[in-house]
Structure 1
Amino acid sequence: MATRTMAQPLHDRVIIRPVKAEEKTAGGIIIPDTAKEKPLKGEVIASGPGKKDEPVSVKPGDNVLFTKYAGTEIQVEGENYLIMRESDILAILN
């Protein structure tokens, strides 16, 4: 399924759709909204071309792990996204 992007990021920026926060623990305890941690994983929706000498190494569809306070949160058509620099991405998950 092709994903329609709402914008094209510039330079070394990427747009990421974060995964949903866990609602319950493994033991079945419901986690209240105030105690939920910010997700650290997400899917790349769009990526910029990169810097002059460094192309971006992630592509749309990649699942990534990023730093806790990375990116700027935006909301488009009721869905939450993050825009961040590629350097805030720690790993590409398989």
Structure 2
Amino acid sequence: MKISPLADRVVIKMVEAEETTKSGIVLASSAQEKPQVAEVLAVGPGGMVDGKEVVMNIKVGDKVIASKYSGTEVKVDGEEVLIVRQSDILAIVED
């Protein structure tokens, strides 16, 4: 199944938390932080939203940080994804 977001919506999938620290210590699952970085899977076309023109600055493949309690969780082909507004994306992560 494919999801095509409308207007200023973006489909993101949370990136798995790292299981080891930079120094090589393996973390138990209870000690791991909830992932904050997500990968963009699909981007809406933008356009007129609430009477204002919205230009989409996010593209598929970007790694982003979104607001903690934003969006709608949806299960697609057994994977959990999140649909958020572009305005709920706080930053683009660059490696």
TM-score norm. by structure 2 comes to 0.78
Counterparts of 2:27 and 2:76 in 1: how far apart (Å)? 31
Deviations 1:57-83 (A, max 9, x none): 101011111111121111111111100
Q: Structure 2, unaligned stretches of length 5 or more?
A: none
Partner of residue 40, structure 2: 44
* Contact preservation (8 Å) 1:41, 1:65: yes
Give secondary structure in 2 for the equivalent of 1:45. strand
Query: RMSD across aligned C-alpha pairs, in angstroms?
Result: 1.9
1:38·1:68 contact (CA, 8 Å) conserved in 2?
no
Q: What is the percentage of aligned positions where both structures have the same residue? A: 48
Note closer, same or farther for the CA distance 1:25–1:69 as it changes in structure 2 (3 Å cut).
farther
Structure exhibiting the larger radius of gyration computed from Cα positions: 2
CA shift, 1:36, in A, is 5.2
Residue 61 of structure 1 corresponds to 61
Flag as ranges the 4+ runs of structure 1 deviating above 6 A.
none
Structure with greater strand share of residues:
2
Gaps of 5+ in 1: none
| TM score, norm. by length of structure 1 | 0.79
